[in-house]
Amino acid sequence: MTIFTRMLTINKILFFCFVALAFFSCRKDFEKPEWDIDVLAPLIKSTLTIEDLLPDSIVETNSDTSLKLVYQTNLFDIDMDSIFKIPDTTITEVYSFPFSSNSSPGSSFYSSDEERALSISNGVELNYALIESGFIEIEIFSEIKENMIITYTIPSATKNGDTLELQELVPAATISQDGYFITTIDLSGYDLDLSGSTGSEVNTFITRAVGTVDTNAAGPVTIFAGTKITYNNKLINLVPSFVRGYFGTQQIHFGPDITNTTAFDMIKSGTLDLDQVDVNLEFKNGFGVDAQLILNQFATTNTTTSVTNSLTHTSIGTPLNLNRAQLTGGIPEVTYTTYQLDMNTSNSNIDQLIEIFPNELLYDLNLNVNPLGNISGGNDFAYKNHSLETDLNIEFPLSMISSGLTLQDTVDFNLSQDGDSQNIIDGVLFLYADNGYPFDANIQLDLYDENMNFLQNLTVNNYIKGASVNAALRVVNKKESVISIPLTENAISNLYATKKIVLSIGFTTTAQPQFVKIYQDYSIDIKIVGDFSYNLNFEE
């Protein structure tokens, strides 16, 4: 886009004026000179193609140089935490001494192994988890009236081959208060073996505690029957990066939910009839579970026009079976399995979903996990960074029938206020268009200031004529049109404040009812020239 403030020819006019001024300045009996002059000033020159008006990422070229739109987006993902979560859990262990005894300083007076079940959502049975982040908070309450050393081990938790173990001093209890100790351990990177002591259990957390009388104790300590030591293990914000087990037979509902799209934002209005549309819904399973998807609804919405169209296709309400992913033993960790759902204008109404220029994609579905039961023998798996993905792929050639299909582009503008241009008294804008599209086109000019505040719409009462086509409906030569836009005094004032002009071009195909293709070499050249009348004043 190139912006000019006025033609260089005005310099010649000014030269003549200065010569006249020199002549008249020697005559004391003449009034100061004043002239009205007409000057042509080119303001905007631009060549627009479909690639300029639509996002570059969605326009591709076919082998015959015709264009097609290709749009891809992720519709939705089902993550690990949709299938299960490890909620914050407190595991309480209470050891009560069955009989009274005396223990000397440095001697172990009790040992206890415990197995407790973790609470996992949705009935999921885990035998292993690799923790990405989270903590365990360990609290110890002692009723023993002497300092003691507690060696606390969690055989279920290992990191780099080392078992989680702590050895801490727990203060002596008093008559009114238990001895108390608390610590928090970061479990990031820990392996959790949840198969229990037998190796065949699930969701099982093993702990071991050994109590020893403090070596600095004054003498033997009496531990009475019924004395208690209490342990609280609080699992906080556990997020696994990998899990294995049986994920159960679950039915999970998702939606109705919305994914936003900007693919058609440049199209503001009008109607479009597409010759062909190919849409592919690709479901990619990154979980080590067999799954069944039931697509209850898929729809598109244009919120500006409040129009919604729902997909009609044999897949709606029909179970789609997805096989489980496979472990690779390397990077990436899994091999996805895929299921592709193909839709076109022959087997669905998918074109109607595109022709409303949607900005929202709506879906509603059910996910059935392990519909055949525990066929993996407890070897279902899931990675946090691998999910069940659904990608939407849309492709259609730009072969269409359009009526008032309006695209927009924004150009920079600056009408200088230096010198004589401040004295424009009236004028007309001339829009010159060389149209290489087989479309008639209406054009609208909206003026905006530097902050994109709307100033004014410049009314254009005529239209740009479409290029003629041959028998193959391909453009032969560009068609030239000249449109005049008279300017009011208010419009001239607003032009001075204008920094952006939004061009809205509404296309209507000229070969209706036949579909016409758009080719890569099609373009429209637009030039806007101001025919301004200036008032020149010269002071004596």
Q: What is the mean pLDDT of residues 491-512?
A: 83
User: What pLDDT is attached to residue 443?
Assistant: 85
Task: Give, in degrees to the nearest 5, the angle at Cα 499 between 495 and 504.
Answer: 85
> pLDDT of 360-377, one tens digit each?
999 999 999 999 999 999
Check whether 180 has a pLDDT greater than 90.
Answer: yes
pLDDT of residue 38 exceeding 60, the answer is: no
Is residue 26 pLDDT above 60, yes or no? Answer: no
pLDDT tens column, 409-441: 788 888 765 554 456 777 888 889 999 988 888
Residue 316: predicted pLDDT: 95
Instruction: Reply yes or no on whether the pLDDT at 506 is more than 90.
Output: no
Arithmetic mean of pLDDT, 333-357? 92
Highest mean pLDDT among 341-345, 467-471, 524-528: 341-345
What mean pLDDT comes out for the span 316-335?
Answer: 94
Residue 46: what pLDDT?
77
| Region of poorest pLDDT, from 104-113, 267-276, 386-395, 489-498 | 267-276
Share of the chain above pLDDT 70, in %: 86
The confidence band for 231, taking pLDDT boundaries of 50, 70 and 90, is: very high
Q: Mean of the per-residue pLDDT values for the chain?
A: 85
Helix (H, G, I), strand (E, B) or coil at 82: helix
In order, the DSSP letters of 213-253 are E-TT-SS-EEE-TT-EEEEEEEEEEEEEEEEEEE--SEEEE
Tell me whether the omega of the peptide bond preceding residue 513 falls within 30 degrees of 0, making it cis.
yes
What pLDDT score does 15 carry?
Answer: 35
Q: pLDDT at residue 10 above 80?
A: no
Contacts of 29 (CB under 8 A, 6+ apart): none
Q: Give the mean model confidence (pLDDT) for residues 21-46.
A: 52
Q: What's the pLDDT score for residue 5?
A: 38
Residue 20 has pLDDT above 80, yes or no: no
Whether the Cβ atoms of residue 249 and residue 369 lie closer than 8 Å to each other:
yes
Rounded to the nearest 10 degrees, how much is the dihedral formed by the CA atoms of 61, 65, 67, 71? Answer: -20
pLDDT at 412: 86
Is 192's pLDDT higher than 60? yes
Q: What are phi and psi of 195, to 5 degrees?
A: -90, 5
CA dihedral over 138, 142, 146, 151, signed as positive or negative: negative
What letter would DSSP give residue 421?
G
Distance CA 285, CA 381 (A): 12
Distance CA 246, CA 289 (A): 9
Q: Which of 271-285, 300-314, 347-361 has the lowest mean pLDDT?
A: 271-285
**Token pair belonging to 417:** 């206020």
Higher pLDDT: 421 or 463? It is 463
The SS3 call for residue 331 is coil
Averaged pLDDT, 183-197: 96
Q: CA-CA distances (angstroms) from residue 538 to 5, 10, 350, 419?
A: 21, 16, 69, 12
Once rounded to an integer, what is the mean pLDDT over residues 165-188? 96
Going by pLDDT thresholds of 50, 70 and 90, the confidence category of residue 18 is: very low
Residue 504 has pLDDT above 70, yes or no: yes
> Is residue 325 predicted with pLDDT exceeding 60?
yes
> Average pLDDT in the 287-306 region?
94
pLDDT given for residue 9 in this prediction = 39
Contact yes or no for 344/277 (Cβ under 8 A): yes
pLDDT band of residue 397 (cuts 50, 70, 90) is confident
pLDDT in the model for residue 58:
78
At 11, is the pLDDT very low, low, confident or very high (cuts 50, 70, 90)?
Answer: very low
Across residues 296-322, what is the average pLDDT?
94
Given a contact cutoff of 8 angstroms between Cβ atoms, the answer to whether 322 and 388 are in contact is yes
State the DSSP H helix or E strand holding residue 447, giving kind and residue range, or none if neither: strand 439-448
149: pLDDT strictly greater than 90: yes
Q: For residues 181 and 139, is the Cβ–Cβ distance under 8 A?
A: yes
Rounded distance between C-alpha atoms, residue 294 and residue 364, angstroms = 9
pTM value is: 0.73
Q: Kindly indicate the confidence band of residue 339, based on its pLDDT and cuts at 50, 70 and 90.
A: very high
DSSP-derived secondary structure for 9-75: HHHHHHHHHHHHHHHHTT-TTSPPPEEEEEEEEEEEEEEE-HHHHS-GGGEEE-TTSBEEEEEEEEE
Residues of the chain with pLDDT > 90: what percent? Answer: 56
Q: pLDDT tens across 115-134, in order?
A: 999 989 998 999 999 999 99
Q: For residues 400 and 524, what is the distance between their CA atoms, to the nearest angstrom?
A: 18
| pLDDT at residue 531, as a whole number | 83
Instruction: Give the residue, 12 or 139, on which the prediction is more confident.
Output: 139
Residues 151, 159: Cα–Cα separation, whole Å: 18
Q: Which helix (H) or strand (E) holds 524?
A: strand 524-537
Question: Nearest 5°: phi and psi at 310?
Answer: -105, 145
